[in-house]
Structures are given as C-alpha cells and as structure tokens.
Homo-oligomer: A and B are copies of this chain.
Amino acid sequence: MNLTEKTELFRSVFPFWDEMIERDRETFLRTSQTVSFSKGQCLHDGGECTGIILVRSGALRVYILSDEGKEITLYRVFAGELCILSASCVLDAITFDVYIDAEEDSNCVVVGGCALEDVSRRLPSAKIFTLETALGRFSDVMWVMQQILFMSMDKRLAIFLLDEAGKNGSDLITLTHEQIARYMGSAREVVSRMLKYFVSEGILSTSRSEGIRILDKKRLRALAT
C-alpha cells in the first residue's frame, strides 16, 4: 500500500482528515501499519491499546469473554469500517475490555492510539468523530443484550425453523420473512433482523431464489432449548 493509497483511505475514513495540520497527517501516515490477519487470529485481547483498526478486506468479530471462557459476540466490523474499542487509551469513558478476532482472512491498517488521542485533544471534530463511532456500537451491544437477556425472539425463531424443517423433512425453508412473521405473530422487520443475525453466525444461509437453508442444525437446536 503506497502513500497515496493510504492517504486516500484515511481521507475516506476520517472525516476530519483535511482539518488536520500537515504534521499530524504525517504522524498518522508514518505510524500506521498495514497488517494481515489470518482467519481465527486474535488481534486484541482486552487491556492494552492496540490502536484504531481500519478493515480493508475481511471481517473482525468483537466479543467479551467470561472467566470460564464463555464468549458473547457484540458486533462485527466489515470492510470499510473501523474498530475503535481496540483503542482504549483514546476513550477514557470505556472501562471494559473487549476481544477481537479475525473472522475471515483480513487486511487491515492499524493507526496508533496515541496519534489519534493527540489529535483529538487539539481538534474537536476528531474527538467528536471518535466518540460518535464508539457510541454507535453502544446501540449494537444493547440489541445483542436485549436478544440474549429477554431470550424470546431468537429462541422462538430457532424453534419455528426447526419445526418447519422437521415438517418438510428438509433443511430448506421456502417461506418469506413476511410469512414467518405472520406465523409467529411478530413483525417482518424483527424476523428479518434475527435471520440476518443467524446468517452472520453461520447458522443459516438465505437467498432470494432458494429461501432459508439451515447450515448448522446443532447450533440452531442449542438456541431452541
């Protein structure tokens, strides 16, 4: 990745790029590193400040981990997005630790936390961008939390899909989201969002032509119980 490409990437990702003074831009360019991560590799494990991770290709998974090794996926970071919770030193308000794995082979650019912190102190728009990016993930996490804690929709949908599969003797379910919602007495949007979540977890695949296909029945059964 040459300097021009990197500059273009930073300009597209950081809305405050052109407001930065030349010296700060140079620091960003000089201290940032292009890194490739293999599928399954751990990029960040809690405490230390790894920096801001810009995903160029692939996908990262951000999760929390219990003492007993139980994981809860909070959200994923896809190509073109950036991960800020890995830069704990930039965010005083964030006092919890997250773990980050490469969910696929991923090509990333890592910007040092200190570089952003330094700029954020002097440039309000950089600070605002940092805070807004982090706060956007708060909503993602709340959604996951509500699904898990109130334990209704994911369980109900898992049960419904297994019932349908059993009824038809096939792992293919040819109902529309609208039909499923109607059968379950829910809203189409809620069903679509949950199906999308199941797809992201590798439990299902969905396609317009085929319908819904169960890929991992074991995990679907675990959700249903």
Q: Which residues of A contact B (CB under 8 A)?
A: 64, 66-68, 70, 72, 91-96, 124-125, 127-128, 131-132, 134-139, 141-143, 145-146, 148-152, 185
**Which of B92, B125, B141, B152 touches A66 (beta carbons < 8 Å)?**
B152
Bound complex: CA A94 to CA B54 (Å):
23
Bound complex: CA A124 to CA B123 (Å):
10
- The interface centre, meaning the residue of A91, A131, A134 with most chain B CB atoms within 10 A of its CB, is A131
Name the residue of chain B whose CB is nearest to the CB of A94: B139
**Which of B64, B93, B150, B185 touches A139 (beta carbons < 8 Å)?**
B93
10 interchain pairs, CB-CB under 8 A:
A66-B151, A66-B152, A92-B132, A93-B132, A93-B135, A93-B138, A94-B135, A96-B142, A131-B131, A138-B141
CB of A44, distance to nearest CB on chain B (Å): 16
Name the residue of chain B whose CB is nearest to the CB of A92: B132
CB of A143, distance to nearest CB on chain B (Å): 7
Q: Besides A96-B143, A134-B138, A148-B149, 15 other CB < 8 A contacts? A: A64-B142, A66-B152, A68-B152, A70-B149, A70-B150, A96-B146, A124-B125, A128-B131, A131-B132, A135-B135, A137-B138, A141-B142, A145-B145, A145-B149, A149-B149
Bound complex: CA A131 to CA B132 (Å):
7
**Which of B91, B124, B142, B143 touches A128 (beta carbons < 8 Å)?**
B124
